[in-house]
Amino acid sequence: MGFGGMFKKLTVFAVMVTIMATSVAAQPKPGCQSHCGNIGIPYPFGTRKGCNIGSDFFINCNTSFNPPKAFLSDTEIEVLNISLDDVCNNVSDVINGSCSGIGCCQTAIPRGLQAYFFDFSSSRNHSSVLTFNPCSYVFIVEDGAYTFSTSDLSNLDFNKREYPLILDWTIGNQTCEEAKMDPKNYACKQNSACMDPESGPGYLCKCNHGFQGNPYLSIGCQDINECETLKPCNESGTCHNTLGSYNCSCPEGFKGDGQKNGTGCSPKPRRDNFSILVVALGIGLSIGLLFLIFGVGWLYRILQKRKYIKIKQKLFERNGGLLFQKKTSSNEGRLDKAELFSSKELEIATDQYNENRILGCGGQGMVYKGMLSDGRIVAVKKSKTVNEGYLEQFINEIFILSQIDHRNIVKLLGCCLETEVPLLVYEFIPNGTLSHLIHDENEEYPRSWDIRLRIAAEVASAISYLHSSASIPIYHRDIKSSNILLDEKFRAKVSDFGTSRSISIDQTHLTT
């Protein structure tokens, strides 16, 4: 590892920067530049051809500097002042303490200079100033370490004096990148970083931020305890020193970053707790409200359901339901019982009493085709309002008819008493009425005499049964072709009797 030598911050005395010229007019040639920055440029000097007396008097005014700098001819010598006065030959011209170019001159040396050679001469071998200045000296010295004195002009022991100078150094002649590839010889140790100097080869090491010490020594860079050196935390906060850094924290109940330079530590405002309370209250209230809405909705539905059940119960009672139940329970053991249908069951069976399901309508009410949940096809008859005076009779007849089991009589399956109008449920007979068979010429029904006679005989058998064989004689009172239904084999089924009489006895009287 070697040292790359380089001089910096040094001042070289003896390089002429103030140009002395014999007395001429102290102004530029007409039409020529008079100044370069702060420096006046009198003829015979000039900044372009024709403005100076010759190429040696050319002043290169470089405007890329601010203020512009003047350079002598094509050299790198910067011109600081141009004087038209005589060359000094009397000690009284020399100014004590000022290295202005008379008796003493100075210049800075360029950055990165690695070697130097000085050459200076005296135009007349000091002959004109020999009385007070027999010798000239040139030397390099640290900037500011030497102050010129007129007595130095005549001091023959000047070369015995010593002045300090600064030697710049770096490690090796590689860049950081190159040096890092050779870990064995890499000079920067833990917690340090490599730096390329601004000029010249080699590299330097520097402790990382938050560390101090010698970066070229192993564990040379030590952590700085910022908590002690900087005291960066607010007095009420706590400082924690960390490797290469620190952090500040505030005590419980305080907020802020704890830094003196930052937000410090201030008590948490009560508003925070209050706003949490408000938010919690808001959430609580909204949840409560939600439950309330659901609860009310649920309660409403329950009440509606109850009301509906109550209405149904009321209708059931009004329509003689209790009487019906009494009769059915006392009828235990017998096979056929009139079934009690719920209003819902029949609503589903008839598809909400859909118009498409209407089988027929007459003086006694509408008849709908329906299908029960167990698959039975039924005819549901919606009668006219029951006269309350005949309720007992109505129920009684439902009961009796449900027990009639004759192949030529339409079977009553049951009823529904929960509705405004009692509903009767019969077995479904597919082939329409006898009236239809007789009168509708277009239909392709078999109308042979055999069939007609059989139908007549079957009807007669049914009436005979009702009149003589049933436990209680039943009088139909309304035998007509539209009340005789035909099944799939064109067998007669007497329908629409008895009950119709009970439902509206006055009307049946009219048609009897």
Ligand X SMILES: *[C@@H]1O[C@H](CO)[C@@H](O)[C@H](O)[C@H]1NC(C)=O
Strand-pair partners of 388: none
DSSP H or E stretch at residue 461: helix 449-464
Contacting residues toward ligand X, per CB under 6 A: 2, 38-39, 60, 62, 64, 81, 83, 90, 92, 96, 125, 149-151, 173, 230, 232, 234-236, 240, 242, 247, 249, 256, 260-261, 264-266
Question: In this complex, which beta carbon is closest to ligand X, that of residue 247 or of residue 343?
Answer: 247
Helices (H), 230-320: 270-318
Query: Cβ of residue 301: shortest distance to ligand X, in angstroms?
Result: 56
Question: In this complex, which beta carbon is closest to ligand X, that of residue 260 or of residue 406?
Answer: 260
What CA–CA distances, in Å, run from 300 to 6, 296, 304, 306, 313?
99, 6, 6, 10, 19
Query: Cβ of residue 38: shortest distance to ligand X, in angstroms?
Result: 5
- Provide the pairing of β-strand 18-20 with 81-83: parallel
Query: Cβ of residue 19: shortest distance to ligand X, in angstroms?
Result: 10
Catalytic residue among 351, 478, 487, 496: 478
DSSP letters, 146-170, are: ----GGGGG-TTGGG------EE--
Q: Which residue is nearest to ligand X (CB)?
A: 264
In 3D, which of 202, 15, 204 has the Cα closest to residue 116?
15
DSSP H or E stretch at residue 364: none
3-class SS of residue 387: coil
Residue 167 phi, psi (nearest 5): -110, 120
Query: Cβ of residue 63: shortest distance to ligand X, in angstroms?
Result: 8
Query: Cβ of residue 236: shortest distance to ligand X, in angstroms?
Result: 6
Question: In this complex, which beta carbon is closest to ligand X, that of residue 126 or of residue 310?
Answer: 126
Question: In this complex, which beta carbon is closest to ligand X, that of residue 58 or of residue 428?
Answer: 58
Report, in angstroms and rounded to the nearest whole number, the Rg of the chain calculated over CA atoms: 65
Residues with Cβ within 8 Å of residue 399, at least 6 apart in sequence = 324, 327, 328, 331, 338
Query: Cβ of residue 24: shortest distance to ligand X, in angstroms?
Result: 15
Question: In this complex, which beta carbon is closest to ligand X, that of residue 90 or of residue 304?
Answer: 90
What CA–CA distances, in Å, run from 71 to 104, 231, 325, 409?
20, 52, 132, 139
In 10 A of CB 243, how many CB atoms?
10
- Provide the pairing of β-strand 339-340 with 412-416: parallel
Active-site residue 506, yes or no?
A: no
**Whether the Cβ atoms of residue 382 and residue 372 lie closer than 8 Å to each other:** no
Question: In this complex, which beta carbon is closest to ligand X, that of residue 64 or of residue 468?
Answer: 64
Question: In this complex, which beta carbon is closest to ligand X, that of residue 151 or of residue 222?
Answer: 151
Query: Cβ of residue 126: shortest distance to ligand X, in angstroms?
Result: 7
Active site (catalytic) residues:
478
